[in-house]
Structure 1
């Protein structure tokens, strides 16, 4: 299967799940998907991101080796929102290798503090940080201060709900 062509062929949940099923049984296919996700044009990246989120749930062990490249991509200026959203979404559910804890915290704090960032990216970032706070209790207070400040500002219901949940976790 030409993965890129297949990704562009149709944009539906059923098609996405079909591709995710095909990809999630072979590490080489996952590598190919991650390369498309990290380096293709916006529309392809957006669709590949959706597939990656399903593959991460279905075969998390196949995604973990690609986390360094995914986290590193977060350093690039002007990355598509689909990359930020799906990298942070995946990081919520996968074990993050210890050598990535620092860069992940850096990115998630920056995303969480940015009021111009989308609600989904900020919500996923706060969950990733709350998960890391289990291992690094020193960051709990910083997360709490940011969230309490953000709750005094105008934020959507999705952000408020997630923030209250994370504050309880902390």
Structure 2
């Protein structure tokens, strides 16, 4: 499955779940979704956020090698509010590594203090 093609083909719950079922707990397939999410363009990032959050909810360990890159995306200037919300939403399903806890807290406080968020 070409995940990006599936993301572009349709934006629906059914399509999202097809992608999630395809990925399962496969690290390589999840990596493909993460690369699409992080690389963009915005439409891909936006559509990848939904299956990404479901995959992480089901298999929280998949996020471990991607934690720093997700936090970098949160801090990236111009990241759309919806993308930020989806990334922060995924954090509720994982144990945040201690080395990232301060950074996550700082990012979340910045979001709370931002009237545009």
TM-score bin, normalised by smaller chain: over 0.9
**Which secondary structure state, in structure 1, belongs to the residue aligned with residue 75 of structure 2?**
coil
User: Does structure 2 conserve the Cα–Cα contact (< 8 Å) formed by 1:45 and 1:82?
Assistant: no
Give the CA deviation at 1:74: 1.5
Partner Cα separation in structure 2 for residue 90 and residue 67 of structure 1: 11
User: Does structure 2 conserve the Cα–Cα contact (< 8 Å) formed by 1:37 and 1:83?
Assistant: no
User: Does structure 2 conserve the Cα–Cα contact (< 8 Å) formed by 1:24 and 1:62?
Assistant: no
Partner Cα separation in structure 2 for residue 36 and residue 85 of structure 1: 18
Partner Cα separation in structure 2 for residue 80 and residue 33 of structure 1: 18
Aligned to 1:57: 57
Aligned to 1:80: 80
Give the CA deviation at 1:66: 1.1
Which entry has the higher C-alpha Rg, 1 or 2? 1
Give the CA deviation at 1:116: 1.9
Partner Cα separation in structure 2 for residue 60 and residue 21 of structure 1: 15
Aligned to 2:19: 19
Pairwise CA RMSD: 1.1
Aligned to 1:109: 109
User: Does structure 2 conserve the Cα–Cα contact (< 8 Å) formed by 1:55 and 1:63?
Assistant: no
Partner Cα separation in structure 1 for residue 71 and residue 9 of structure 2: 28
Partner Cα separation in structure 2 for residue 61 and residue 21 of structure 1: 16
Unmatched 5+ stretches in structure 1: 118-170
Query: Matches of residues 10-49 of structure 1 in structure 2 within 5 Å?
Result: 10-49=10-49
TM-score by length of 1: 0.66
Higher relative contact order (CA 8 A, sep 6+): 2
- Number of aligned residue pairs: give it: 117
